[in-house]
């Protein structure tokens, strides 16, 4: 090998080594840099956007009479006619706004688009085979309110929660006395858990609750006011999970900066089996993943396994993720083996089947004998 070629090879090796080191350092510090770059500062009530008007369709990301992201379905798993559905779904989207505001407005085009792509399309659509989907826009709180809780963050969460209560009142007025499913993800699941405990548990509404799906949130059984789902087809209960890899290490972007000891108290119901236990369910038993935000969405059968352990859904086996560059960056930013952004997609058809079973059981129990 000539001297010039040796120098080129040495330069390539040094460059590769530097990139690896830079990647390690970035992975270890990017969560902290994000908090610096996106720090919202002190909470200022005067900067809070105006409250939504839930009599206006523009205040909803999905409604039965609108064409929206929640309507999309694969041909082999078609949606029902939501305007003729026997029950309703109240879905709360995850955090879809990034910026330095403690509470985001609902009418900003970028947030509207992100709420469709990251919420109603890939998550709420799970339920379009069983019910009419209602997904309110709300003045979502800054992510720091959940990862670094403090008094300012609590004020921002209170604003978002007030919207959720108002939207739920509008939902009840729209739907009358029909049964309903409560669903959410991440921030939406945190707020949904509060709604469940504060407005539904212990009231007449609990008799109309088919099931609550609240994944991606640090929820504890004693805080919800309803039972955790112990078996398939059980109703009036809650399904919660947080998907992580076996070697996942919590970082500053985890809820409350949680460590492993705090996570052990989180609810975990296996979305493949619908059971609250620690049995490992292999990927072969999963009905499949669906990534509706890809160019050519399709069913990916047996895509991921799952085992509830110490408050987490441990995913050890997974197919190749079909993600666009921005989605891959998001997965990288939140840390290795944190599958939080894709918790619905990984077991999309398992959830579609699970809610179908619970709805069928609820409606059967509610029907008079011989009907």
Phi, then psi, of 2 in degrees rounded to 5: -70, 165
- The CA–CA distances, whole Å, from 236 to 72, 164, 211 equal 27, 20, 5
Q: What is the pTM of this model?
A: 0.90
Distance CA 201, CA 233 (A): 19
Q: Which two tokens stand for residue 297?
A: 């969405």
* Residue ranges of the chain whose pLDDT lies below 50: 1, 5-6, 8-31
Question: How many other C-beta atoms are found inside a 10 Å radius of the C-beta of residue 245?
Answer: 16
DSSP codes of every residue in 178-219? --EEEEE-THHHHHHHHHIIIIITTSHHHHHEEEEE--SS--
Distance CA 118, CA 99 (A): 16
pLDDT of residue 334: 78
pLDDT of residue 324: 72
- The CA–CA distances, whole Å, from 274 to 7, 28, 92, 162, 213 equal 59, 35, 21, 31, 11
Distance CA 236, CA 228 (A): 9
Distance CA 355, CA 151 (A): 37
Rg (CA), the chain: 21
Sign of CA dihedral 159, 266, 342, 143: positive
Contact 90, 367 (CB under 8 A): no
Distance CA 337, CA 319 (A): 14
Contact 111, 332 (CB under 8 A): no
Tell me whether residue 109 is exposed, middle or buried, using C-beta atoms within 10 angstroms of its C-beta: 0 to 12, 13 to 18, 19 or more. exposed
Contact 157, 193 (CB under 8 A): no
Distance CA 351, CA 98 (A): 28
In terms of Cα–Cα distance, which of 193, 210, 59 is closest to 135?
A: 59
In terms of Cα–Cα distance, which of 224, 323, 332, 303 is closest to 269?
A: 224
């Amino acid at each position: 090998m000539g001297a010039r070629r040796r120098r080129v090879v040495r330069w390539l090796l040094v460059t590769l080594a530097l990139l690896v080191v830079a990647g390690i350092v970035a992975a270890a510090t990017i969560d902290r840099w994000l908090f610096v770059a996106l720090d919202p500062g002190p909470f200022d009530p005067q900067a809070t956007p105006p409250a939504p008007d839930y009599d206006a369709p523009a205040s909803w990301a999905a409604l039965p009479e609108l064409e929206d992201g929640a309507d999309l379905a694969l041909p082999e798993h078609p949606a029902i006619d939501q305007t003729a559905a026997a029950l309703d779904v109240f879905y709360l989207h995850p955090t879809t706004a990034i910026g330095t505001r403690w509470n985001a407005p609902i009418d900003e085009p970028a947030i509207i688009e992100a709420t469709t792509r990251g919420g109603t399309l890939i998550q709420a659509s799970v339920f379009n085979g069983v019910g009419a989907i209602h997904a309110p826009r709300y003045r979502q709180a800054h992510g720091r309110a959940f990862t670094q809780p403090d008094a300012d963050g609590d004020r921002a969460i209170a604003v978002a929660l007030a919207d959720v209560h108002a939207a739920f009142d509008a939902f009840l007025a729209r739907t009358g006395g029909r049964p309903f499913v409560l669903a959410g993800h991440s921030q939406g699941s945190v707020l949904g858990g509060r709604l469940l405990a504060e407005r539904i548990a212990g009231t007449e509404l609990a008799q109309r609750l088919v099931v609550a799906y609240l994944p991606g949130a640090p929820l504890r059984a004693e805080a919800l006011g309803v039972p955790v789902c112990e078996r398939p087809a059980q109703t009036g209960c809650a399904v919660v999970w947080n998907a992580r890899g076996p070697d996942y290490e919590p970082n500053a972007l985890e809820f409350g900066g949680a460590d492993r000891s705090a996570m052990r108290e989180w609810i975990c119901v296996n979305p493949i089996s619908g059971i609250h236990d620690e049995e490992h369910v292999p990927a072969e038993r999963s009905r499949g993943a669906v990534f509706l935000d890809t160019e050519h969405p399709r069913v990916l059968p047996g895509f991921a396994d799952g085992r509830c352990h110490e408050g987490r859904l441990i995913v050890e086996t997974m197919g190749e993720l079909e993600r666009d560059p921005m989605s891959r960056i998001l997965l990288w930013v939140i840390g290795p083996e944190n599958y939080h952004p894709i918790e619905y997609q990984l077991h999309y058809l398992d959830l579609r089947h699970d809610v179908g079973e619970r709805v069928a059981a609820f409606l059967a129990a509610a029907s008079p004998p011989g009907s």
